Structure 1
Amino acid sequence: MSDPAASAAAGPPGAPRGAGDSMVLVTGGVRSGKSGHAERLLAGCDRVVYVAPGPTPEAEQDPDWHARVEAHRVRRPPTWRTVETADLGAALHGAGDDPVLVDCLGTWLTAVIDEAQAWEAPEETVGALVAERLDGLLAALSRRQARTVLVTNEVGWGVVPAHRSGRLFRDLLGRSNQRVAEVCDEVHLVVAGRVLVL
């Protein structure tokens, strides 16, 4: 399996989306190399809007998560602009013609459910909430002409989660991944740092 990053150089801002300005969904397991691969897909771009949609707890609240966020920040070029928001539709619109990297849909889903305090709500209620937010994301993606890379998690290959919240997250993220993949030009599966273009 080869890394397609070398053949996926971004085109100039504002150009019609083509081979060089594709929309890519990057998926894979934990610590598989998804984020690094996604960043390499945009390595030739001076201006990138990096959208971090997950929760941003203070270091004393969750030092491990804070360390992960900082590691990502240090790795990004200084010319990349970071936007921390769960409103992905607004973030994509605000990026204009600049390339965008969203990392990741798993943390976005957590933020959406957290915001609504809906982890204990009926599954239909949570599903409708997520579907509404996802509709906004998909509408924004459909209007994008600039290069866009989204990272997500593959959570359906392990054991069935023991807790309801884990099962809810797995099912909703799996459905969300399918809908986002439908509007993307390519889906890249990353396993042990190796990339398979699906």
Structure 2
Amino acid sequence: MRVLVTGGVRSGKSRHAESLLDAALPVVYVAPGPTRDDDDWAARVRAHQERRPEAWTTAETHDLATALTVEPPVIVDCLGTWLTAVIDDLEGWDAPVDELTGRVLDLVGTAIAAMGHDVVLVTNEVGLGIVPEHRSGRVFRDLLGTVNQRFAEACDEVHLVVAGRVLVL
């Protein structure tokens, strides 16, 4: 099973993704987001951590390729925060778009090649709203849309979550 779960902020996509895996079995929960010194961010992270089953372990890493090679089922939450961390790591917010896109897609290709079975990927759906005013918003939106397409091609199913409801695409 390879599933990409997408949706908007607070749509219920993380809870749905978590429900796809057995809470009693070992699962590696990959948290690839950036670390921040921000109370709101810390509260979000804590809420996610507290609802994880005891049999699950957490891996905080930006290295998706390595994280996806482990034996137990894997959940990655989420590709949007992973992309933010990668762009930060690459110091790419001001880089030429073609160069940044190439570097990110190389990482995506390596991660996809490393994916085993029983992988659930969570991502944010982008592009349903207005065109962002700032360059960084446009770069992020465009790159995440491309990243989502690549992972969707490698998955068996794509689930769209809206208001807690799931539509299998």
Specify the TM-score bucket, using the shorter chain as the normaliser: over 0.9
Structure 2 residue matching 1:54: 3-state secondary structure: coil
**Residue identity opposite 2:136 in structure 1:** S
Structure 2 counterpart SS, 1:35: helix
Counterpart of 1:169? Answer: 140
Can you give the 5+ residue segments of structure 1 that lack an aligned partner in the other structure? 1-21
Residues 23, 184 of structure 1: 8 Å contact kept: yes
SS at match of 2:33: coil
Equivalent of residue 103 in structure 1, options 77, 82, 104: 77
Aligned residues: 169
| Partner Cα distance (1:133, 1:62) in 2 | 28
Query: Which amino acid letter does the alignment assign opposite residue 74 of structure 1?
Result: E
User: How far did residue 66 of structure 1 move?
Assistant: 0.7
Mapped to 1, the partners of 2:145 and 2:153 lie a distance apart of 13
Q: Which amino acid letter does the alignment assign opposite residue 39 of structure 1?
A: E
Q: Which letter does structure 1 place at the counterpart of 2:47? A: A
Q: Determine helix, strand or coil for the equivalent of 2:68.
A: helix
Task: State whether structure 2 residue 62 is matched by structure 1 residue 86.
Answer: yes
Pair 1:115 & 2:89 matched: yes
- RMSD of the TM alignment (CA)? 0.9
Tell me if structure 2 keeps the 8 A contact 1:45–1:99: no
Residue 35 (structure 2) aligns with: 56
Q: 1:72 to 1:190 in 2, by over 3 A?
A: same
The residue correspondences of 1:1-198 to structure 2 (distance < 5 A) are: 22-57=1-36, 61-93=37-69, 95-96=70-71, 98-141=72-115, 144-145=116-117, 147-198=118-169
Q: Secondary structure at the match of 2:166?
A: strand
Aligned residue identity for 1:168: V
* 1:86–1:111 contact (8 Å) kept in structure 2: yes
- TM-fit CA distance, 1:45: 4.4
Q: Is the 8 A contact 1:33 1:191 kept in 2?
A: yes
Runs of 4+ in structure 1 over 3 Å off:
none
Q: TM-score, normalised by structure 1?
A: 0.83
Distance 2:35 2:27 in 1: 21
Judge conservation of contact 1:160–1:167 (CA < 8 Å) in 2: yes
Task: State the identity as a percent.
Answer: 64
